[in-house]
Chain A
Amino acid sequence: MAVTGVFMSAVADTHSQEHHHGPAKGISRWLLTTNHKDIGSMYLIFSFAMFLLGGSMAMVIRAELFQPGLQIVQPEFFNQMTTMHGLIMVFGAVMPAFVGLANWMLPLMIGAPDMALPRMNNWSFWLLPCAFLILVSTLFMEGGAPNFGWTFYAPLSTTYGPPSTTFFIFAIHIMGVSSIMGAINIIATIMNLRAPGMTLMKMPLFVWTWLITAFLLIAVMPVLAGAVTMMLMDINFGTSFFDASGGGDPVLFQHVFWFFGHPEVYIMILPAFGAISHIVSAFSRKPLFGYASMVYAVGAIALLSFIVWAHHMFTVGVPLAGQLFFMYATMLIAVPTGVKVFNWVTTMFRGSLTFEAPMLFAVAFIILFSIGGFSGLMLAIAPADFQYHDTYFVVAHFHYVLVPGAIFGIFASAYFWLPKWTGHMYDETLAKTHFWLSFIGMNLAFFPMHFLGLAGMPRRIPDYALQFADFNMVSSIGAFMFGATQLLFLFIVVKCARGGEKAPAKPWDGAEGLEWTLPSPAPYHTFTTPPDIK
């Protein structure tokens, strides 16, 4: 909360510019707030806390894998670490960070005074700390935390799960409720509160990508809730949805899970696509190339995401026809994704480029996310997937789309909008240091995982054969470097919130959008009367 106070003092100080009442004093401001900026800040701070927590679990994993043999933790605890790392990063770090960005920026970008449903907004945030308190508390329960991977395949997670599984299910339910309410709020805001004259095809891309993401959330979070409810019944009420010995079907679990799980990975990347589009255009001082095709590409990716789920299940024994269908559908995703990358590169082409921290992260995003996309295309080739599946190649793949994809997207956005949030410029030298250390650490940690996977190392193992030793050591060193670097980010943000060079209303000369028409920091209440859209 100390950080919260620091972070928000800049906003609080300037509320008097407006004629409306300012924020409440003390703890009730945070507990009872309906202000989109306060709630956005809380989401961002919460997600960063979860990022550090999930990250420290990754450090335990990498420390154990530093050398062959069991040194630091036992296999049972190792499995708890991989599971909790995945769950916390997906549901606690990445998703809330994007919701935080949405809360802060959507009203400012569409000229709205606040989110459409402010009280629900408060409620959807405060559910999250409750959910994660429950989830994290399982670490201290008898039998330990969930240990069946973030994908929690039945029957490992049902018949064979630890007693804490029921708490895990409850936590997932609460997170789901929070996400669905957040999504409803975002859709209601975008549909109803746009400033007059802002037609759909004039909306900033971040607004577009979040609109589509919100529909994905509404479509798939209930499916996840269904999956965990069936688990709950199997564990506690004697049903056999996923228990073969009672006539159930363990493969059904995977179908249901991945019907949620695949759109989920796009939920974690589409908002980043939007933010990156603004940043690349701003620092190229050139309009985004192919705005309309960007919108259609995001729509196409979202639709395709519903018909590719079984590519996670190529080795499960899907019939040949199904295998072929899911292979072709998955390969198709490369087309709209390619369009997006081509558009970004063409936006940079013949621009007037500068490389402040947001742009560095954005350029790294484009290159490294594309590498993750390439390995995704390789994984889509079903026969080859029989070799890649459940090896470190997959671990490398999804960390390349999630770390330089989602996480770098979030860093880029944070640096891009920090001046607007705090009224100060962040320390550019430190931010560039943060970038380069993250960039090197990330590649050192995750690139060797491609080699490990191709050489035959399965994922989710606490110990490995000797031929994997060297690359694992390199990977661990990179991971420690990446992990430690993130404390620098915390320092940079706190420093920026406390003071620094005054930020002008529009600190980036190439930036476009309504948010830059407001003073920095953005007053507590903004756009109480809608702006004019040209």
Chain B
Amino acid sequence: MRAYAKRATALAAGLSSSSVVMADWTMNMTPGVTGISNQIFSLHMTILWICVVIGVVVFGVMFWSIFAHRKSRGHKAANFHEHTVIEVIWTIIPFAILVAMAIPATATLIEMYDTTESDVDIKVTGYQWRWQYEYINEDFGYFSSLSTPRAQIENRQAKGENYLLEVDNPLVIPVGKKVRFLLTANDVIHSWWVPDFGVKKDAIPGFINETWTRVDKPGTYRGQCTELCGKDHGFMPVVVEAVPEEEYNAWVASQREAAEKERQLTQKDWTLDELMVRGEKAYQTACASCHQPDGTGMPPAFPALKGSPIATSDMAAHIDIVVNGKSGTAMQAFGGQLSEVDLAAVITYERNAWGNNTGEMVTPKEIFDYKNQGSQ
């Protein structure tokens, strides 16, 4: 059985490496690129072959009966209807097979649960419908959203090679290091899956789940959300880039620097036009999937912003709902998700776009003050 699994592993590995773009008729799990994913693959092949062998034996007997013991061939029915010894045997043999199967499964499971001694810790937060990655000890983080253009999804444009499996900002991890993921969610339950790592874990609001991986081969690995999380569940992929350590360190340094720069932007004096430009961008990534790019929403779950009282009259209420969300509805609290600059830009944009021409703006500094006053 082991030999079969090994041979199949080698075969499948050969197949997947020869064609980097997965073959369209892929029929089996791939062994993946981590120790765990290889162990899972081996368990999968073992249990598959056990099932095939049992199936061949049992259905073999059945097909023999169907072929040979037909009435049309003049076969007379025997009259036996029990046999204690044989019944005991076919209870014990499956049990023994199961015990044999449970042992390697248990070993793999124990290893999967060992999240100790990690080199890098990343917090993964699921949102409707994107992922947030925060590098816990490095003081920066960012969102990762689908980058496939709407036009491809709506068949107005030819679909790209990584259709629905591409994002604006992939997760970056160093190769050869134990990376621990801490998973949670901000709204509903999501599930973070990278098949090549053999890692899938639910991201649940109010819970922190742990899992880990160690990738030895640099490359880009793609996965998807695997827990139904609302309308765009099919549109929140996971993309991970595993890079050599030096490259990773350089990337972390540049990210820290960019994060610092972003924080300084709060103090800058912004004009309405500058905020509108930035606001449109932020709106498209954070708000448009519900409230729609043209602000018309999808009532009743996602109300229109175009001409709405919130976006055209009371500024304080507008800031409140964007920063703190509205409990009991799908409107999230964006205060922790967006920077002060983006919050100010989005609110300003919503108050001036699509004919909501209030001419009013709110500055990042005002948002900063609002948030700090709110937290006291």
A residues neighboring B (CB under 8 Å): 68-71, 74-76, 79, 142-143, 147-149, 153, 155-156, 159-160, 162-163, 244-245, 248-251, 284-293, 315-317, 320, 323-324, 327-328, 331-332, 334-335, 338-339, 341-342, 345-346, 348-355, 363, 366-367, 370-371, 374-375, 377-378, 381-384, 386-387, 389-391, 451, 454-456, 458-467, 469-471, 510
Contacts and interface: CB of A to CB of B under 8 A. Distances in A.
A353 B75 contact: yes
Contact of A352 (B69, B204, B235): B69
B179 to A, nearest CB: 16
Contacts of B29: 387, 454-455
A249 B95 CA distance: 37
Interface string B179-203: 0000000011101010100111110
Nearest to A456: B195
Given A143-B300, A159-B328, A382-B105, 19 more contacts: A69-B152, A153-B189, A155-B187, A155-B189, A248-B206, A291-B82, A292-B82, A315-B202, A334-B94, A346-B61, A350-B75, A381-B43, A383-B36, A384-B47, A386-B200, A391-B226, A455-B26, A470-B25, A471-B25
Contact of B191 (A315, A332, A346, A463): A315
A458 B193 contact: yes
A390 B227 contact: yes
B146 to A, nearest CB: 11
B87 interface: yes
B71 A349 contact: no
14 contacts: A74-B231, A245-B327, A250-B204, A286-B81, A290-B87, A293-B82, A316-B202, A317-B204, A338-B94, A349-B62, A352-B70, A352-B77, A375-B51, A455-B30
A470 to B, nearest CB: 5
A350 B235 CA distance: 55
B165 interface: yes
A409 B144 CA distance: 47
B55 interface: yes
Contact of A290 (B82, B198, B199): B82
Nearest to A351: B77
Contacts of B176: none
A465 B300 CA distance: 30
Contacts of B210: 317
Nearest to B36: A383
Interface stretch (B3-11, B156-164, B357-365): B156-164
A458 B224 contact: yes
Given A143-B301, A160-B187, A287-B79, A377 B47 contact: yes
Nearest to A374: B51
Given A75-B232, A251-B204, A351 B82 contact: no
A289 B79 CA distance: 9
Nearest to B327: A245
Interface stretch (B107-115, B250-258, B278-286): B107-115
Contact of B206 (A156, A245, A354, A389): A245
A322 to B, nearest CB: 11
Interface in B305-364: 327-330
A455 B301 CA distance: 34
A323 to B, nearest CB: 6
B329 A159 contact: yes
Nearest to B166: A465
A286 B27 contact: no
Contact of A320 (B94, B105, B113, B204): B113
B228 A316 contact: no
A374 B101 contact: no
Contacts, number: 299
A244 B207 contact: yes
A341 to B, nearest CB: 6
Interface string B75-101: 111111110001100110011001001
A290 B85 CA distance: 12
- Which of A288, A350, A378 has its CB near the most chain B CB atoms (within 10 A)? A350
B155 interface: yes
A147 B191 CA distance: 18
Contacts of B30: 455
Interface in B45-59: 47-48, 51, 54-55, 58-59
A327 B161 CA distance: 38
A111 B66 CA distance: 34
Nearest to A470: B24
Contact of A338 (B23, B75, B90, B329): B90
B102 A328 contact: yes
B113 to A, nearest CB: 5
Contacts of A378: 44, 47-48, 51
Given A160-B187, A160-B330, A461 B22 contact: no
A397 to B, nearest CB: 12
A249 B69 CA distance: 58
B18 interface: no
A310 to B, nearest CB: 13
A350 B78 contact: yes
B65 A155 contact: no
Nearest to A381: B105
Given A327-B102, A377-B51, A383 B65 contact: no
Contacts of B28: 451, 454-455
B298 interface: yes
B108 A342 contact: no
Report the 4 A-B pairs with minimum CB-CB distance, sorted nearest first. A244-B206, A461-B234, A374-B51, A352-B77
A333 to B, nearest CB: 10
Contacts of A363: 62, 66
